[in-house]
Amino acid sequence: MSLKEQVVASFENTFGHQPDGVWSAPGRANLIGEHTDYNLGFVLPFGINFRTYVAVAKRADRKCRVASTIDSKIYEFDLDGEMPKNLDWALYPLGVAWVMRENADFGFDAFFDSNVPIGAGLSSSAAIECSIALALNEIWNTNHTKQELALIGQKAENQVVGAPTGMMDQTASMLAQSDGAVLLDCKKLETKVIDLGLTKNNLVIAVIDTKVAHRHSDGGYRSRRDSCELGAKTLGVESLRELSLSDLPRAQSQLDDLTYRRVKHIITENQRVLDSVSALRDGNLESLGRLLLESHSSMRDDFEISVPELDLAVETAMEVGAIGSRMTGGGFGGAAIALIAESKLGELEIACKKAFEANSYAEPNIFAVVPSEGARKDS
């Protein structure tokens, strides 16, 4: 039974009637460009071939009810009431409904099922938000564009969940295309699909899930964003996007060491995204690999969001022969990615598990991801 068929069956078992339709959205991996989105910079994510499916049906009243395979509970809120607290994972879909509620004349039942790994830095939350946003956009006839729906997902995560994230995850999940990455200009909200050329080079993007779970709503993410905002204010710009490499000496002279290193990461990471796009267009894999490693070093040393397990994953991938490797996602756990020959994937898995065991870390999960299409209606 496919995941789509499973979500329909689970919906019927849970709510006792048939859904009106099924929608889905992918998780995402970020090739490069970390923490640059909320600084209005550049990011280069892609959708992955792991998706979240949601079966949805209209209700006659104004109750919004959601359930999933995560637990056995049904969570709900009324469109005319306040958003309840302590909803666990259900804050993500109900948060989207809360943001979109102005145009809602009726409630809904929704059941979610997913194969996007949770806590691995692959945006399982954005996949939930984007799948339900696309569904509600249709049943409530709100006529939002996919880019607008991505911003609604971000708003829900910021205001309801309390995670101070940027727009990258939702934009990637909404707008991703097969075989390409999405270059997103977070200031202009412009996107371009960049061909990754993996197939013709017999390459895969391997994910090394360290099994170190992270939560964006925890303080580490918030403090990094605060440092970026302080840096921008001190340097007299609206966002760090306005700064370039030539501004680093001035930044170092005007900022304390910690704030400078946070700002330095954002400025250099923005440039690395643009340089990575150039490398991909030129077919310069050596340059791309170097940029991925430089990105990881910056996140480890300047932004300080890596953990020993992520550093070991990157180190092991390079020893096996990866072209490049870096942690991906918000940090403090999650996964690393490695650009590597498809023939070396098995060797990478063996080496990572051996290295993690030698350091008494939990066994990692290693798998390849394929750049895949964004949110869609499936039936």
DSSP state of 270: H
Residue among 106, 189, 111, 200 nearest 151 (CA): 189
Look at the alpha carbons of 215, 331, 50, 348 in this order and tell me if their dihedral is positive or negative. Answer: negative
Phi, psi of 194 (to 5 degrees): -110, 125
How many helices, marked H, and strands, marked E, lie in the chain? Answer: 11, 12
- 169 given a catalytic annotation: yes
Selecting among 37, 169, 209, 302, the annotated active-site residue is 169
Q: Residues 116, 123: contact at Cβ < 8 Å?
A: yes
- Residue 193: which H helix or E strand, with range? strand 190-195
Look at the alpha carbons of 281, 267, 339, 188 in this order and tell me if their dihedral is positive or negative. Answer: negative
By annotation, the residues acting in catalysis are: 169
